[in-house]
Amino acid sequence: MQQNVDNLRHSAAHLLAAAVMQLWPGTLRAIGPAIEDGFYFDFEFETPISETDLPVIEKKMHELVSSWQSFERFELSKEEALEEYKDNPYKQELIEEFSKEGQSLTVYQSGDYRDLCRGGHIDHPSKELKHFKLLSIAGAYWRGSEKNNMLTRIYGTCFPTKDELQKYLIRIEEAKKRDHKILGPKLDLFTFSDKVGKGLPLWTPRGTLIRNLLDDFVWELRRTIGYAKVEIPHITKKDLYETSGHWEKFKEELFRITTREGHEFAMKPMNCPHHTQIFDRKPHSYREMPQRYATTTMVYRDEQSGELAGLSRVRCITQDDAHVFCRESQVEHEALAIWDIIEAFYRGTGFPQLSYRLSLHDPDHFEKYLGTREVWANAESQLRNMLTERGVAYVEAVGEAAFYGPKIDFISKDSLGRQWQVATIQIDRNMPERFNLSCINEQGEHERVVMIHAAIMGSIERFMSILIEHFAGAFPLWLAPVQVAVVPVGNNFDDLSQEVHLALRQEGMRSELDVSNKTLSAKIRDWTLQKVPYLCIIGGKEQEKRSTDGTLYVSIRTREGKDLGMVPLSEFMNKLRIAIEKKSI
């Protein structure tokens, strides 16, 4: 089914290019693949276009598709292809590349439009290709490299039915309202500064509080099963990553530092090689195994400017990273304990339903990975058995493994139904081999250990972007940076409101007192827009009750606008305390 949808969307990309070429004949075409939920095509225009041009292009697409009866396939020699695309350097580059790989060169034609293409189209475009929509325009470097030309990328979507298209368009409109890049600054969670640099978020007190609450939750789950915190520096000598294999794999993505003495260092892009050196600081008896290390720290990657996107893709990534060094006999127990932590964390943060993916190596390109095929087969079989033992449905994804080992990826679904890969469990026998890590077994011999990599949030920045959009900024009570706003009806109730505010603070509640000169309706609107879970309204009724029996009373209003009436403050605080402890959503 997905293949059919992909073919439909790839066909829509051809139709988009055909429309563009009719409207702007001097345009150079690059590539136009199907992607998740849609398609795009990259162009080099002689004069810039804008999103105001999208309706014109879309109209032309509808005009053209009526004459598209099929996609006709033609095979060309390299020479014929180069001649056909002699004025298009992007197509020529692809032709040279494909011919080196021994691939046959094919073009597909529908109507008057013809393009270099590997195939994958629908059979009856005029009948099937009806329900599409152009969405946006963006800049994109050719082949993803900032050393190449910046092209214009037009995004669109396409579905088999009108109903599916409409539902998707409604969903993306809702997604725009929840966009963390807009909501985050509006809720005063994070900011960016041109003086600091792109892809380097700055966290405000409120945003930092949420990050810390999440990290503390992960640590509490880890602490109970025996993890120990460690700390590592943010830079390292090149030697460490040469041994681990990361230098060869990621050298183009590293921020490099050359010292005054000429030594080459790098800002760490990951933490695992550092943790190997903590384990290797002394001999370990089998009685001391496993060793469980955890650290929450930033890593740094030299992402291209055009690929940065809010918190979803940044240059500084905070990882709640942990590594277990254990014996072969302990691998399954330790991995399943991590699984339990992951399940508990995502229940507590509002993602109770997880799905699972077994990410495997690509056997046709084993040169991309460390180690031997036998070691990989072993590790993959071990993870497959764990998934079977847990009795969960899962998919296998060839080529999605880390370069040092296979992994179980945990997939969450947000409130809009979008899927996100979040936590991972990775079994690694290659890093211990490269760093010669061992323990002393019962026979007094050196026994090679196994390394398990585990990130619960993966990247706190990325997880925060998912969390903000999932809740549309209306965080559950335990995560809300401000849990209660105390709102006096007028300034003559400020003293009583101050008393309520201090009582809440003394009980550990995150309370804010609003003593501004605004009207009550304006105050309620402001705090509601800030998505504060509860408002405590203090006025004449509350003051009268206070003077009658000496008890503090508050009138409660929720951020959804529901009036919960007047209750004793102690009763309200007790309900809050229970909800926070249970991490109620």
pLDDT tens figures, 116-172:
998 889 999 999 999 999 999 988 889 877 788 999 999 999 999 999 999 999 988
Give the angle 286-290-291 at the CA atoms, nearest 5°. 115
pLDDT of the residue at 531 = 96
Architecture of the domain delimited by 484-582: 3-Layer(aba) Sandwich (3.40)
CA 118 to CA 107: how far, in whole Å?
A: 7
Residue with tokens 């930092």: 208
> Would you say 534 and 523 are in contact if contact means Cβ atoms under 8 Å apart?
no
pLDDT of the residue at 522 = 96
Structure tokens at 69: 């009866």
H or E element that contains 132: strand 131-141
> Would you say 137 and 154 are in contact if contact means Cβ atoms under 8 Å apart?
yes
Walk across the sheet containing 235-237 and list its strands: 235-237, 264-267, 256-258
pLDDT of the residue at 585 = 67
Closest by CA to 114, choosing from 86, 76, 73, is 73
- Mean pLDDT, 10 residues at a time, the chain of 585 residues: 82 96 95 92 94 96 94 92 93 90 85 91 93 93 85 95 94 90 96 95 97 97 96 94 85 88 90 96 97 96 84 94 96 96 95 91 86 89 93 91 88 87 92 95 96 94 95 96 96 94 96 94 95 96 89 95 95 95 84
pLDDT of the residue at 371 = 85
pLDDT of the residue at 3 = 62
Contacts of 300 (CB under 8 A, 6+ apart): 234, 255, 267, 268, 269, 315, 316, 317
Sign of the Cα torsion 204, 210, 214, 217 reads: positive
Structure tokens at 412: 């969450």
Active site residues: 272, 301, 319, 321, 323, 407, 453
Residue-range domain boundaries for the chain:
2-176, 190-471, 484-582
User: Of the CATH numbers 3.10.580.10, 1.10.10.10, 3.40.1350.10, 3.30.930.10, which one belongs to the domain with range 190-471?
Assistant: 3.30.930.10
- Half-sphere exposure for 29 (CA within 13 Å, toward CB): 25
> Would you say 439 and 285 are in contact if contact means Cβ atoms under 8 Å apart?
yes
- Whether residue 432 is preceded by a cis peptide bond, meaning omega within 30 degrees of 0, is no
Q: What is the pTM of this model?
A: 0.84
Reported as a single tens digit per residue, the pLDDT across 170-188 is: 988 988 899 999 999 999 9
Residue with tokens 């998707």: 168
Contacts of 164 (CB under 8 A, 6+ apart): 131
Taking domain 2-176, whether its CATH number is 3.30.980.10 is answered by yes
